[in-house]
Amino acid sequence: MTENRYDLMIIGSGPAGLTAALYASRLGLNVVVFGDIPGGSTYMIEQLSNFPGFLTEISGTQFGTMAFQQAQQEGAFFTMTRLKRLRYENRMFSGIDADGHQYTADCVIAATGRLPKRLAVANANIKGIHFCSICDGPLYRGQKAVLAVVGRDNTAGQHAVTLSRVAKKVLLISSSEKLAMDAAHIRLIEKQGNIQQLLNTEVTGYKGAEVIDGIAVSTKDNVAEELNIDGIFLAIGWRPNTKMLDFEVAKTTEGYLKTDQQLMTSVPGLLAAGDVRETDMWQVLTACADGARAAKYAGEYLEQN
């Protein structure tokens, strides 16, 4: 097994990881970045419309590609593989990627983001369940499909609007009394004639043998019924992606990495940036800011140790 030695390992190729790679490389650090999708989950963003400096909207894919190219030009090395396991022994980090290659470094920035949650129902992994309307919505084009979106935030709103262009009908289902999304998304939803809001409604089960063809729902008034659908898109929350960390590190009750003012975790040399750490705002902009700060503090850590 070949061992590759670096100053800094960055786990994750989303906005936080790419920005960290850019800034760390400009600081002169020898940087390796793990992740197989440039931009990470930004590919799920149809239009990035609230990032300063972009007068016209760009897609999340475009943003991720440009940030990736920028970091690469500064000298960061991208394995284009995911890190399977990271160990910490004798103040040294050792990682193995999906191809079985081993890497070591004195410092690590965890920028691994979050993963979408699934509904806690039987057959939770049945086919026809999706998390990205941009990626999987086109699968239903021309089929006069009825699609369901479960959620109440901006992500759910984006899914509903995107799917309304390819589906005959979109059911926007939320267990809450009102949607918790910004006014711009609500206006877009109301403009579409084929989005039906089902509030105070909970999905209690999936119907279908191998592929979903319906859902069981229940209202807060205990009215239960089954709805025929062709596919379902979930936007019910996220969970931090920390599975590859093969050692103890302080986390919140929800599993997010705890950090200090310098974004250092409870493990010396392990910093966290972006959506994987404890924060009060999950945005591309704040992830980028975390990445820049983490690179700065990683450089200071390496100078002092």
219-257 pLDDT, tens digit per residue, is 988 889 999 999 999 999 999 999 999 999 999 999 999
* Residue in 266, 288, 287, 285 with CA at minimum distance from that of residue 276: 287
300 plus 279 within the same structural domain: yes
- Answer whether residue 165 is part of any domain: yes
What is the overall mean pLDDT for the chain?
95
pLDDT of residue 251: 98
Helix pair 183-191, 154-164: axis angle to 10 deg: 20
Assess if residue 124 is contained within a domain: no
Instruction: Indicate the SS3 state at residue 294.
Output: helix
> Do residues 100 and 141 both lie within one domain?
no
Cα Dmax for the chain: 63
Can you give the residue range of the structural domain that contains 15?
3-116+238-304
CB 300, CB 25: distance < 8 Å: no
Q: What integer pLDDT is reported at residue 203 of this predicted model?
A: 97
Mean pLDDT of 98-106: 96
**Residue 1 scores a pLDDT above 70:** no
CA distance 35 to 169: 36
Domain boundary among 177, 205, 235: 235
The sign of the dihedral angle between the CA atoms of 237, 240, 243, 248 is: negative
pLDDT surpasses 90 at 111: yes
pLDDT at 2 over 80: no
State the pTM of this model. Answer: 0.86
Kindly state whether residues 256 and 184 are assigned to the same domain.
no
Confidence class for position 3, pLDDT limits 50, 70, 90: low
Q: At which of 185, 209, 235 does a domain end?
A: 235
Residues 227 and 153 in one domain: yes
pLDDT at 168 over 50: yes
Task: Please report, for residues 152, 218, 283, the alpha-carbon distance to residue 258 in angstroms, rounded to integers and kept in the order given.
Answer: 27, 37, 18
Domain boundary among 212, 235, 258: 235
Q: Examine the domain organization and report whether 300 and 215 are in the same domain.
A: no
Pair 80, 218 in one domain: no
CATH number for 112:
3.50.50.60
Do residues 111 and 48 share a domain? Answer: yes
**What are 45-81's pLDDT values in tens digits?**
888 888 899 888 789 999 999 999 999 999 999 999 9
Q: For the residues 100-120, what does the mean pLDDT come to?
A: 96
- In this structure, the answer to whether residues 135 and 226 fall within a common structural domain is yes
pLDDT at 260 over 90: yes
> How many domains, in total, are found in the chain?
2
pLDDT surpasses 50 at 259: yes
CA dist., res. 205 & res. 285, Å (int) = 36
Question: Between vectors from CA 149 to CA 146 and to CA 154, what angle results, nearest 5°?
Answer: 140
Distance CA 287, CA 283 (A): 6
Residues 192, 152 within the same domain: yes
Q: Is residue 181 part of a domain?
A: yes
Buried b or exposed e, range 173-209, using 16+ CB within 10 angstroms: bbbeeebebeeebeebbeeeeebebbeebbbebbeee
Answer whether residue 253 is part of any domain.
yes
Residue 121 covered by a domain: no
Between CA 197 and CA 152 the distance in angstroms is 10
21 domain-assigned: yes
Q: Residue 65 falls within a domain, yes or no?
A: yes
The verdict on 191 and 252 lying in the same domain is no
Alpha helices in 6-48 (DSSP H): 15-26
pLDDT (mean) for 88-114: 96
